[in-house]
Amino acid sequence: MSVEENRNCKCECEQDNKVNCDLRREMIQEIRCLEFAITELALYLDTHSEDEKALCLHRKYCKKLKELKDKYQKVYGPLTINFPCNKWRWIEMPWPWERGNY
Amino acid sequence: MAMGKGELLMWTYNKTLQYPINIKCPDPKLAKVIISQYGGPDGELAASLRYLSQRFGMPDQVSKAVLNDIGTEELAHLEMVGTIVHQLTDGASIEEIEKAGLAPYYTDHGVDVYPVSAAGVPFTASYIAAKGDPIANLQEDLAAEQKARATYEKLIDLCRDNPDVLDPLRYLRQREVVHFQRFGEALRGVQDKLAEKKFYINNMNYNNR
Residue A34 located in a structural domain? yes
DSSP SS3 for A23? helix
Query: Which of B177, B56, B72, B189 minimizes the C-alpha distance to B135?
Result: B189
pLDDT tier at A19 (50, 70, 90 boundaries)?
confident
User: For residue A15, is pLDDT > 80?
Assistant: no
Residue A83 near chain B (CB below 8 Å): no
Residue A25 located in a structural domain? yes
Cβ distance B26 to A62 less than 8 Å, yes or no, reads no
User: For residue A1, is pLDDT > 60?
Assistant: no
Residue A50 near chain B (CB below 8 Å): no
CATH 3.40.1000.10 fits B28-196, yes or no: no
- Interface A-B, measured as beta-carbon pairs within 8 A, has a size of 97
Cβ distance B66 to A97 less than 8 Å, yes or no, reads no
pLDDT in tens, A52-71: 999 999 999 999 999 999 99
Per-residue pLDDT of chain B (209 residues; tens, 9 = 90+): 444 444 556 899 999 999 999 999 999 999 999 999 999 999 999 999 999 999 999 999 999 999 999 999 999 999 999 999 999 999 999 999 999 999 999 999 999 999 999 999 999 999 999 999 999 999 999 999 999 999 999 999 999 999 999 999 999 999 999 999 999 999 999 999 988 866 566 655 555 55
Closest partner residue to A80 among B15, B62, B82, by Cβ? B15
Cβ distance B15 to A43 less than 8 Å, yes or no, reads no
For residue B18, give the chain A residue with the closest CA. A32
A83 lies in which domain range? 16-98
Q: What pLDDT is stored for residue B3 in this prediction?
A: 44
Closest partner residue to B18 among A36, A78, A81, by Cβ? A36
For residue A73, give the chain B residue with the closest CA. B15
CB of B159 closer than 8 Å to CB of B30: yes
The pTM assigned to this predicted structure is 0.89
Average pLDDT, chain A: 87
Q: State how far the alpha carbon of A99 is from the alpha carbons of A32, B23, B65, in Å.
A: 14, 9, 32
CB of B34 closer than 8 Å to CB of B88: yes
Closest partner residue to B15 among A42, A48, A96, by Cβ? A96
Q: From CA B58, how far away is CA B55, in angstroms rounded? A: 6
> Which residues from B are below 8 Å from A10, CB to CB?
22
Residue B71 near chain A (CB below 8 Å): no
User: For residue A7, is pLDDT > 70?
Assistant: no
Q: What pLDDT is stored for residue B199 in this prediction?
A: 57
Residue A91 located in a structural domain? yes
> Which residues from B are below 8 Å from A57, CB to CB?
none
> Which residues from B are below 8 Å from A36, CB to CB?
18-19
Reported ipTM: 0.89
Domain regions of chain B by residue span: 28-196
DSSP B170-186: HHHHHHHHHHHHHHHHH
Closest partner residue to B4 among A66, A78, A95, by Cβ? A66
User: For residue A3, is pLDDT > 50?
Assistant: no
In chain A, the number of structural domains is 1
Residue A40 near chain B (CB below 8 Å): yes
> Under 8 Å CB-to-CB from B32, ≥6 apart: which residues?
B100, B101, B102, B105, B118
pLDDT in tens, A86-98: 999 999 999 999 9
> Which residues from B are below 8 Å from A95, CB to CB?
15
CB of B51 closer than 8 Å to CB of B141: yes
The average pLDDT across A16-26 equals 81
C-alpha R_g of chain B = 19
